[in-house]
Amino acid sequence: MTAIAVTIAGSDSGGGAGIQADLKTFSALDVYGASVIAALTAQNTLGVHGILDVPPAFVTQQIDSVFSDLAINAVKIGMLSRSAIIEAVAEGLERHHAIQIVLDPVMVAASGDRLLAPESVDALRNALLPKAMLVTPNLPEAAALLDEPMASDERAMCRQAERILALGPKAVLVKGGHSTGTESIDILLDADGVQRFTAPRIDTLNTHGTGCTLSSAITAGLAKGLLLAEAVAAAKSFITAAIGASDQLKIGHGHGPVHHFHAYWS
């Protein structure tokens, strides 16, 4: 049977993050990708220049169309910029009994542009976190979800993971890409305890879409039947290789994308 995943997120007109990164990742990992577009962005490697939200009723119509026809194995949720859209997504997932949900709480783009309205953070906490099999905040996002300072070391990352887990998701992956040091360290916390995933930190400017790509790679692993820790480990390897190969691409004048198809392009 064909593994199928759906991404519910915003579109990136520059092709490096959002829906585009998710679908590239699904394809690179042998998973059929469907999509529900929650917002349009005017965006490139230099920044986000505009956001146009999709009406919540049309987000609902997309969800119903996809789930009524396709046998969805896993769901990735990315950028949802408004409370009404967050609530429409939560209601749609509940209606269709979605189980394997990976929530990437996209709040701020790598360029620093805000993608989630501040007043919508509570809606994200209350409506979607409790439905998630896994939530994947980076260090600034974890701090924003908890309304506290950003973690500065692994011990603080673990403490914040515990507090986020208490908000209702089954598991939390706090990503350490914004920290310093020779290694990029991610902390996974679930009912079985803490697991640590490490990779060498790669010196490149081409990191646009890393969070989207990692979360969609985890979703692809779950869609193919991997256990959560296995999916996280495989995704960590994939994103590390994609970042490592990113300088092979010459895209734009700012922070370029990672190389989703590093294993296929010469």
Q: How far is CA 243 from the centre of its chain?
A: 16
Q: How confident is the model at residue 81 (pLDDT cuts 50, 70, 90)?
A: confident
pTM, rounded to two decimals:
0.95
pLDDT tens per residue, range 96-142: 999 999 999 987 655 555 566 677 888 999 999 999 999 999 999 99
Q: Which of 89-93, 102-106, 176-180 has the highest mean pLDDT?
A: 89-93
Mean pLDDT calculated for residue range 21-41 = 98
Tokens 């692994």: give the residue: 154
Mean pLDDT calculated for residue range 231-242 = 98
Nearest one of 181, 182, 177 to 242, comparing CA atoms: 177
Q: Would you please indicate which residues are annotated as catalytic (active-site) residues?
A: 175, 207, 209-212
pLDDT at 251: 96
List, in order of start, the domains of the chain with CATH numbers.
Answer: 4-248 (3.40.1190.20)
